[in-house]
Amino acid sequence: MKHLMYLAAAAMLLAACTPKPGKTTKVVGQFGEDAPAVVEIAMGRTLDTTVVVTDGRFEAEIPRDLTTMAMIQAGDSQISFLSDGSTITIDPVAGTAVSSVKKGPQARYAAYSEWMETFIAEYRSKMAEIGDDEEAEEEYNQLMERFDAYQKEAAKANADNFVGLMAISQIMDGDPEEMLALLNGLSDEMKATPQAVQMLASFESRSKTAEGCPFVDFTVVQDPEHPETSTVKFSDYVGNGKYVLVDFWASWCGPCREEMPNLANVYETYCGENFNMLSIAVSDRLEDTLEAAPELGIVWNQIVNAQDIPTTLYGIDAIPHIILFGPDGTILKRDLRGEKIGEAVREALGL
């Protein structure tokens, strides 16, 4: 019984000694020689302030806010940190921000940043050493698997702060259901941020348009001055008995332009009774699309002036985004690029 009482007392003492986060964060720093007259601190849309440096030292008190990153411009150093309600000590020379709470959000952000820097250096080193394409691909896949695993754990460990959202956004290969689970695991405060709301909407759309799902129809007015003759539906091209390869692109998008020769080759090789192609211009000016399309050799079907209608419905956050649809409109493959485009079409056609 005494043993249990001692344990309970020790637990109470430990709890009493653990500092609770305050409603504000104290930011302090010390320059050496050549100290600037002021430092600037910004935090999202809520804070943008200038702090006077006196005798090489500065001190400020800012609101606690874990939903965004704070940034301090101190001389030539730009240092990011989480305003976690602790005391943050800025070292402008080392470029560090150290929290008085050793395992708090800012400490975890510092550890996350250090891991990222180490990983990037390792990635660059290994990729530079490897010459064989097959070996490089295997090494790349292993690195990305480790990268994603770390991001997922970081997201779970930082569900109450911006690091969690940052980690989720870094995941390279996560299926929509898994990404939704990570996003829904964030705190209510984090899920209410504009970034999280946008990501949730995107992955919910992606979940509804994953491989194996039926296509989602939409309507586009291609020429606002002549809506009666320019209005088309996605279903005019998809779900009508042919395999259809659809490329979401824009004239200003460099990777989209680079992919066009692959698409042209697929079209010339397979277009016929069972297969066709469609390019959909998104987030682009109509006149720019109409000028670029013939230059890039787009001779297959097109929908122009779609803007963000299809990208919202299909959860597309980067282009080019290439999807292969089956004869009944079922989504067969997503995120096709390079050689995988032709491989997917050949497989679907049974060639």
pLDDT at 1: 41
Task: Say if 1 falls within a structural domain.
Answer: no
Domain match, 140 and 44 both: no
Q: Is the entire prediction scored with pTM above 0.85?
A: no
Domain match, 310 and 327 both: yes
- Cα separation, 284 vs 309, whole angstroms: 12
Residue 14 has pLDDT above 50, yes or no: no
Residue 13 has pLDDT above 50, yes or no: no
Q: What angle do CA 33, 34, 37 make, to 5 degrees?
A: 125
Domain match, 247 and 271 both: yes
Task: Tell me which residue has tokens 């299809």.
Answer: 310
Strand 275-281 relative to strand 243-249, pairing: parallel
Residue 131 has pLDDT above 90, yes or no: no
Residue 292 has pLDDT above 80, yes or no: yes
- Cα separation, 301 vs 286, whole angstroms: 16
Mean pLDDT of 327-347: 96
Alpha-carbon distances, residue 230 vs 97, 246, 250, 277, 308 (angstroms): 56, 19, 19, 19, 17
pLDDT at 178: 94
pLDDT in tens, 60-103: 999 999 999 999 998 888 999 999 999 999 999 889 999 999 99
Alpha-carbon distances, residue 201 vs 42, 180, 204, 207, 340 (angstroms): 28, 9, 5, 10, 28
- Cα separation, 220 vs 232, whole angstroms: 6
pLDDT at 46: 82
pLDDT at 311: 95
Domain match, 234 and 195 both: no
- 155 Cβ contact list (under 8 Å, min separation 6): 164, 165, 167, 168, 171, 182, 185, 186
Task: Say if 16 falls within a structural domain.
Answer: no
pLDDT at 172: 84
Q: Which residue, 183, 208, 233, sits at the end of a domain? A: 208
Domain match, 242 and 292 both: yes
pLDDT at 44: 87
Domain match, 88 and 171 both: no
pLDDT in tens, 132-178: 677 778 888 899 999 999 999 999 999 999 999 999 999 988 888 99
Check if the beta carbon of residue 345 is closer than 8 Å to that of residue 243: yes
Other Cβ atoms closer than 10 A to 337: 13
Alpha carbon of residue 204 to chain centroid: 15
- Cα separation, 192 vs 89, whole angstroms: 29
Domain match, 232 and 309 both: yes
Domain match, 256 and 134 both: no
Residue 34 has pLDDT above 50, yes or no: yes
Q: Give the orientation angle of helix 162-170 with respect to helix 194-208, to 10 degrees.
A: 40
- Cα separation, 349 vs 351, whole angstroms: 6
Mean pLDDT of 24-36: 91
Task: Say if 13 falls within a structural domain.
Answer: no
Residue 10 has pLDDT above 90, yes or no: no
Domain match, 257 and 190 both: no
- Total residue count of the chain as it appears in this document: 351
Residue 317 has pLDDT above 90, yes or no: no
Domain match, 262 and 335 both: yes
pLDDT at 154: 97
- What is the CATH number for 223? 3.40.30.10
pLDDT at 19: 52
Domain match, 312 and 198 both: no
The confidence band for 32, taking pLDDT boundaries of 50, 70 and 90, is confident
Residue 35 has pLDDT above 60, yes or no: yes
- Cα separation, 49 vs 40, whole angstroms: 6
pLDDT at 20: 62
- Cα separation, 172 vs 91, whole angstroms: 33
Residue 287 has pLDDT above 60, yes or no: yes
Residue 8 has pLDDT above 60, yes or no: no
User: How many angstroms separate the first and last alpha carbons of the chain?
Assistant: 77
pLDDT at 126: 86
User: Which two three-digit tokens encode residue 72?
Assistant: 């301090």
What is the extent of the structural domain holding 192?
108-208
The rounded mean pLDDT for the chain is: 91
Name which residue leads in pLDDT, 264 or 137.
264
Residue 2 has pLDDT above 70, yes or no: no
Check if the beta carbon of residue 72 is closer than 8 Å to that of residue 11: no
Give me the number of domains the chain comprises: 3
Q: Which residue, 179, 208, 237, sits at the end of a domain? A: 208
Other Cβ atoms closer than 10 A to 98: 16
Task: Say if 279 falls within a structural domain.
Answer: yes
The confidence band for 9, taking pLDDT boundaries of 50, 70 and 90, is very low
Q: Classify residue 181 by burial, with Cβ atoms within 10 Å: 0-12, 13-18, 19+.
A: middle
DSSP for 47-98, written as a single string: EEEEEE-BTTEEEEEEE-EEEEEEEEEETTEEEEEEE-SSEEEEETTTTEEE
Residue 4 has pLDDT above 60, yes or no: no
Q: Which residue, 86, 101, 116, sits at the end of a domain? A: 101
- What is the CATH number for 83? 2.60.40
